[in-house]
């Protein structure tokens, strides 16, 4: 509302907001980078999140993924579905419970060759108590959850 008070028109503010939404891809991407800028392949190759580099970027489904190395970038480009996080990189436990929540790079688990992220390590622990059940619930609920706004 302060922008409107400073002379911005409501249609202009709406256009800016719609443009920002339209520019976003299918994945959770705070700061414009999927996985908070961490290398998706590193979760599989080293078993831990590694910060990516602006030198190695792939845009996949409208989202920017960064990679620590050119080799990781090539692996992702060859099979992005293999490395991209499930549920758009949003919290797997939140999705299982019917809502869209942010995630932290270190709250993850690779299960059956798929990357799942959670809100934080505490939530990861709760989610891990019934991994198959939570995955099944989240898969069933994701189509609806994917259309929701992010809960803060």
User: For residue 1, what is the DSSP state?
Assistant: -
Task: State whether 66 and 139 are in the same domain.
Answer: no
pLDDT at 136: 98
Is pLDDT of 19 > 90? no
Give the pLDDT band of residue 133 (cuts 50, 70, 90). Answer: very high
Task: State whether 128 and 90 are in the same domain.
Answer: yes
Tell which of 46, 65, 84 closes a domain: 84
Task: State whether 106 and 146 are in the same domain.
Answer: yes
Report whether 93 contacts 127 (CB < 8 A): yes
pLDDT at 96: 98
Q: What is the pLDDT of residues 80-113, one digit of tens each?
A: 999 999 999 999 999 999 999 999 999 999 999 9
Q: E-strand spans in the chain?
A: 53-60, 63-67, 108-111, 114-117
Task: State whether 78 and 4 are in the same domain.
Answer: yes
Tokens of 150: 């992010």
pLDDT at 4: 39
Global confidence as pTM = 0.84
Domain ranges, residue 10? 1-84
Tell which of 56, 84, 112 closes a domain: 84
Task: State whether 76 and 107 are in the same domain.
Answer: no
pLDDT at 24: 62
Task: State whether 90 and 143 are in the same domain.
Answer: yes
Distance (Å, whole) CA 75 – CA 73: 6
Task: State whether 90 and 64 are in the same domain.
Answer: no
Task: State whether 80 and 93 are in the same domain.
Answer: no
Report whether 118 contacts 124 (CB < 8 A): yes
Task: State whether 79 and 103 are in the same domain.
Answer: no
């Amino acid at each position: 509302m302060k922008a409107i008070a400073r002379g911005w028109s409501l249609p202009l503010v709406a256009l800016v907001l719609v443009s920002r939404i339209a520019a976003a891809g299918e994945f959770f991407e705070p700061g414009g980078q999927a996985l908070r800028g961490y290398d998706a392949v590193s979760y599989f190759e080293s078993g831990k999140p590694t910060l990516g580099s602006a030198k190695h970027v792939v845009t996949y489904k409208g989202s920017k993924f960064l990679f620590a190395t050119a080799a990781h970038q090539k692996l992702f480009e060859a099979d992005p579905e293999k490395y991209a996080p499930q549920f758009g990189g949003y919290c797997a436990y939140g999705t299982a419970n019917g809502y869209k929540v942010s995630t932290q790079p270190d709250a993850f688990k690779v299960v059956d060759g798929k990357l799942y992220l959670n809100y934080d390590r505490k939530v990861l622990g709760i989610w891990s108590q019934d991994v198959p059940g939570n995955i099944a619930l989240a898969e069933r609920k994701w189509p609806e959850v994917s259309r929701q706004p992010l809960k803060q």
